[in-house]
Chain A
Amino acid sequence: MGHVTIRRVWLKDFRSYEELELDFTPGLTALLGDNGNGKSNLLEAIGFLVSLKSFRGAPKEALVRAGVDVGFIRAELDDDGREVLIEVELKSLGSPRVLVNKQRLGATRELLGVCSTTIFSPDDLSIAKGSPSLRRELIDDLLTAVHPKNEVVCDDFAKVLKQRNALLKQCNGRLSSDAQLTLEVWDERLVEVGERLGGLRVRILEKLQPLVNDYYTRVSDNSRPIGLAYSSAWRSSGMAASLAESRRDDLRRGISTVGPHRDDVMMEIDGMNARVQASQGEQRSLVLALRLASHELIRQATGTSPILLLDDVFSELDDRRSAALLGALPKCQTILTSAVGIPKGATADAIYYLNDSTLVEARSS
């Protein structure tokens, strides 16, 4: 994969859009319009094209326009001069169908070999404030973007965990000798993939930490040290020993109580827990730094910059943070939405005004 940019996107029956066709510049494209006119839906479509999931966490059936059975997203990409056509057919029932240059795709991770995105969304603050699952998801998404093969580890872990939980539930608190043997088999598998997943997460956090520190300094104009630590109840004694120790508890409760699915990323600003002790402004800077650092890590690992999607990010920031973020943004294709105009200090190469999910005006400079 070389330097990848989006040239053109077509939407049909996606979310609020009946039909839309839009050209993008390799620089900055701004989508402007009041809230509720489909700007975020358009970014969501671009994000979906690359990851086959909604960055707003919407279920697939919600993505097809109401009253219609099938929706389409098509995009023409430029991969170092080579044209790549991605087509996604979304059905309100069943899984989406993806064609890359008219070829059926085997697995989602193959799409990540084509193109990736970095998304800044208004919900990002919940990465700092919200539940551990959001931080795990951030790390696992990053693992997959850095190396598509890592998705298999995440998937395998999820599958083995589901099987083990199903077995625990069927045991109903009692462990027959037969069930014990089966449980041992799943434990062996869970240990194997769990240790791998835990190790991957720890190593990527180690790589992320210096970058986050760097970007935090740039977006917050203070240089307090940021700590990112993988917080895990099982890693010190090992997954096998922890599973053995928690077995009685697991059996009683009918679920697996220990493992990577219960872990968290502990984030600290100057030694203070960022989730509970940091101000909202500090949390915001931290999350921006996390996104920027992830972007840079993916660029280093894959040799290409992900496409930057900024969903209504600047309206939440004061002028100083806004300017600092603009200054820290890497030079790569950027698509931003805003209800309050283009942020001060930014120059857009193309500007589109959207009203009621239709294009009302286009300007390029």
Chain B
Amino acid sequence: MDLVVLAASSGVEMADYEQSIQELIDAFGRLPGIGPKSAQRITFHLLKSDKAESERLVSAVSSAVHKIRYCEVCFNFAESERCAICRDENRDPHLLCVVEEPRDVVAIERTREFRGRYHVLGGAIDHLQGVGPDQLKIRELLIRAAEEGITEVILCTNPNIEGEATALYLKRVLDIPGLTVSRIASGLPVGGDLEYADELTLGRAIEGRRTLEQ
């Protein structure tokens, strides 16, 4: 990300633009996944097209920024005190899925496999970025686990160093009688060929194999 910012504001291509255009290019360039070339393309697209299109964008950004806050229960994005999932009476109140970011909630929701509720930590333990357990919504998770009658917590943090450490930590602190703590499985993509799976994933999949019911 720093590189993009550097490149976008390094002044290499700066000279020829009007100031407001340059400011817009810089603003887009600071967004994740957008390099200087894309920032320039988006800017010129907006300036060339109908003013109404830009205004729709402006109002969409502005209303999202003003309306969206964190759900007081699960810390997912919400438009009111509690998010749509926490308000949904049809959700299983005994099942809780713990994820790092709101976008992970969206990913799991898309599967339609999970009918419980969520808890968004707001990241993973990463001391190099100054993120310890205190910076995550872990205290809130413990209170929920103790008070909401939850029977199973599914740890869905990412399968990388930080995510695994966070899951290990949560396993330790969620030592509550009657509470099952499980970890999301990692393995092969559906519809793929064993032949093309990388060795690590395949190794994990073999490790996490399960017995077929007769």
Contact = CB atoms under 8 A, between A and B. Distances in A.
- Our verdict on whether A and B bind, yes or no, reads yes
Contact of A181 (B128, B130, B169): B169
Given A93-B6, A94-B3, A170-B132, A181 B161 contact: no
Contact of B165 (A94, A149, A152, A163): A163
A184 interface: yes
B3 A182 contact: no
Contacts of A149: 199-200
A185 B161 contact: no
Contacts of B162: 163
B74 interface: no
Given A156-B161, A163-B161, A163-B162, A181 B199 contact: no
A236 to B, nearest CB: 26
Contact of A178 (B126, B134, B164): B134
Contacts, number: 50
B173 interface: yes
B125 interface: yes
Interface of B: 3, 6, 125-128, 130, 132-134, 161-162, 164-165, 168-169, 172-173, 199-200
A185 B172 contact: yes
24 contacts: A93-B3, A93-B6, A149-B199, A149-B200, A156-B161, A159-B161, A160-B161, A160-B165, A163-B125, A163-B162, A166-B127, A167-B127, A170-B130, A170-B132, A178-B133, A178-B134, A181-B172, A181-B173, A182-B132, A182-B169, A184-B172, A185-B125, A185-B165, A185-B169
Contact of A163 (B127, B172, B173): B127
A188 B6 CA distance: 39
A189 interface: yes
Contacts of A156: 161
Nearest to A93: B3
Given A184-B172, A189-B161, 15 more contacts: A93-B6, A149-B200, A156-B161, A160-B165, A163-B128, A164-B127, A166-B128, A170-B132, A181-B133, A181-B169, A181-B172, A182-B125, A185-B125, A185-B169, A188-B168
